Amino acid sequence: MPAQDIASSALASAPAGAFLTIDLDALVANYLAIRELAKGSEVAGVVKARAYGLGLAPVARALWGAGCRTFCVATAGEGATLRGLLPDATIYILSGLIAGAADAYEAHGLRPCLSSLAEVEEWRALAKRRGRSLSAGLQFETGLNRLGIAGREAERLISTPEALSGVDVTLVMSHLGCADEADHPLNRHQLERFRAIRAAFPGVTASLANSAGVHLGAEYHFDLVRPGIALYGGNPFTGRANPCRPVVGLQGRILDVREVASGETVGYGAAFEAKGPRRIAVIAMGYGDGFFRALGSDRQRSHVGGRVHIAGHYAPIAGRISMDLISIDVTELSEGAIKRGDLAELIGPHVTLDEVATRAGTIGYEVLTNLGDRYKRIYTGAGCSTTES
C-alpha cells in the first residue's frame, strides 16, 4: 500500500500521530536494478544504522528473499543482530575491529574489515588461540583518508605474506570519497590505487563501489559492489536525477485547524507572524520524531523552511518545529478542505526525501537515519501483508 493511500485505509483511524510507510517491493526493485547494472558482480546489501533507519529485520529479510547473501554493517552489535536474523549470511563489519573485542566478532561469525596492522595483529592472535584461520576483509586507504590500511603499513602487509598468517582474507576493499560527482579526479585516483592493491591479492573478492560508484562504470565494479542509500530510495548523486524508486513515505495527522488574526504569532520565539488573517493546522509530530528542526520557518532569520502536501496543495511550515508538533499555513486551501484527523504528506511523491534533505540543509542519509520510533511503521510488499514493527 503506497504511503499516499494510507488516508483511505483503516490504518488512518489508528491512535498514532504519524505513519511511516516502507515499500519493500521498491527496496527490492532498487536492489535488482543495481544487480542488473553491475552484471557479473555480486551485490551486497549495506544495512548499517538499522538499515538506514528503516528497520533491520524487514529490510534484511526482503533483501535475502531477493537473493542477497552478503551484507555490510558498521558495528559488531549490528552484526550480531543480523546474524540472529540471517544465520547463513556473510556479514562484514565496515568499521573494522574494536580493540579487545575480537572474541565477540568471532562468536557471531562476523568478518571485520581490518583497517590497520594493529587490527590484523589482534585478529591473528585470536586465530592462533583458536588454532584455525579466521575470515576477515582488508580495508585499504586509497584517498578518502578515513579508515584503511595506508602507506608503509600497506606496503609491509603486501610484501610480507606471513603478516597475514591465520587470517583468511575473503575481501579486499576501499571506499570512494567523491563517487557522487562523476567527473571528480579523486575517483580515477582511487581506482588506480585500488587496482594496484587488488593485484597483490589474486583470487580474493575485491570491492570499491558504493551506490554512486556503481554508476561510474564497469571498471569500478570489481567482484562486489556495496550499495547503501540507493537501496532506500535516496539520490546517490549530486546535481543529477534520482534513478532509484522511492521507498519511504511519511504522513502526519492533523490535530487541529485554527484561525490566527493578523499580527498574531505562531509557535516558539514568535518566529511566524500572520500578515493578515491566516488558518493554521497543527500536525502531531516534531523533532522528537526525528523531523529536523531546521525545516521550520523563522521570520527573524529570513528562513523559509519546509513544506507539506495536503488536500492536493502545498502548505508551508509556519514557525519553529517543536518536539511534538508542527504548524503549517493552510490559508491558501479552500475553507473546509482539511479537517482534524486528516493526514499531511511530509515525505512522499509530492515532497521527496531529497527535497526534505535540501530544505533541512543536509542529505537524504541523515533524514532516513533520524526517523524516530514513535511513528506507526507500516511495511508493504516483498511477500508480506501490511505489518508494523
Residues 245-265 pLDDT 10s: 999 999 999 999 999 999 999
Same domain (yes/no): 142, 176: yes
Examine the domain organization and report whether 227 and 267 are in the same domain.
Answer: no
- Record the cell numbers describing residue 202, joined without a space: 589474486
Residue-range definition of the domain harbouring residue 222: 25-232
Give pLDDT, residue 200.
Answer: 95
- What is the CATH classification number for the domain harbouring 373? 2.40.37.10
Determine whether 103 is exposed, middle or buried from the number of CB atoms within 10 Å of its CB (0-12, 13-18, 19+): exposed
Q: What is the mean pLDDT of residues 102-121?
A: 97
CA distances from 300 to 11, 271, 272, 273, 331 (A): 39, 7, 9, 10, 21
Model's pTM, two decimal places?
0.93
> Is the four-CA dihedral 195, 198, 200, 203 of positive or negative sign?
negative
Our measurement of the distance from residue 106's CA atom to the centroid of its chain's CA atoms, rounded to an integer in Å, reads 27
Residue 367 near residue 12 (C-beta atoms within 8 A): no
Among the three residues 168, 201, 232, which one is the final residue of a domain in this structure? 232
Kindly report, residue by residue over 204-224, the tens digit of the pLDDT: 999 999 999 999 999 999 999
Options 48, 220, 287, 376, the catalytic residue:
48
| Whether residue 268 lies in the annotated active site | yes
Which listed residue (52, 105, 268, 314) is catalytic? 268
Residue partners of 227: CB distance under 8 A and separation at least 6:
30, 31, 34, 43, 44, 45, 46, 210, 211, 214, 236
Which residue do the cell numbers 552484526 mark?
79
What is the predicted pLDDT for the residue at 239? 80
Query: 262 lies in a domain?
Result: yes
367 in a structural domain: yes
- Residue 269 lies inside a defined structural domain of this protein: yes
- pLDDT value, residue 301: 65
Smallest CA-to-CA distance from 279 within 311, 312, 257, 253 is with 257
Question: For 123-126, which contacts have Cβ atoms below 8 Å and span 24 or more sequence positions?
Answer: 123/97, 123/166, 123/167, 124/164, 124/165, 124/166, 124/167, 126/102
- Mean pLDDT over all residues of the chain? 93
Residue 201 lies in a domain: yes
Report the share of the chain in percent with pLDDT over 70.
94
Buried/exposed code over 39-52 (b: 16+ C-beta within 10 A; e: otherwise)? eebbbbbbbbbbbb
Give tens-digit pLDDT for 43-94: 999 999 999 999 999 999 999 999 999 999 999 999 999 999 999 999 999 9
CA atoms within 13 A of residue 127's CA, in its CB half-sphere: 19
Amino acid in the structure at residue 297: S
CA–CA gap between residue 206 and residue 224 (Å, rounded): 6
| CA distance to 3, 43, 256, 290, 307, per residue, from 19 (Å) | 8, 31, 17, 13, 17
Last residue of a domain, one of 180, 200, 232: 232
Contact 45, 71 (CB under 8 A): yes
Does residue 4 have a pLDDT over 50? no
Coil, strand or helix at 6: helix
- Residue 382: per-residue pLDDT: 73
Lowest mean pLDDT of 118-122, 160-164, 276-280, name the range.
160-164
Q: Strands 313-316 and 248-260: what pairing?
A: unpaired
Q: How confident is the model at residue 299 (pLDDT cuts 50, 70, 90)?
A: confident
pLDDT at 10 over 80: no
Residues 6 or more apart in contact with residue 202 via CB below 8 angstroms: none
Residues 203 and 276 in one domain: no
Strand partners, 250: 20, 347
> What pLDDT is recorded for position 280?
98
- Give me the number of domains the chain comprises: 2
* Same domain for 38 and 167: yes
* Same domain as 196, residue 99: yes
- Separation of alpha carbons 41 and 56, rounded Å: 24
Q: Please, what is the Cα angle at 101 between 96 and 102, to 5 degrees?
A: 75
pLDDT digits (tens, 9 = 90+) for 153-205: 999 999 998 899 999 999 999 999 999 999 999 999 999 999 999 999 999 99
- Please indicate, yes or no, whether residues 32 and 138 belong to a single structural domain of this protein: yes
196 lies in the same domain as 290? no
Residues 258, 361 share a domain = yes
Q: Are residues 312 and 378 in the same domain?
A: yes
Question: Which position has the grid cell 531546521?
Answer: 294
How far apart CA 63 and CA 192 sit, in angstroms, is 31
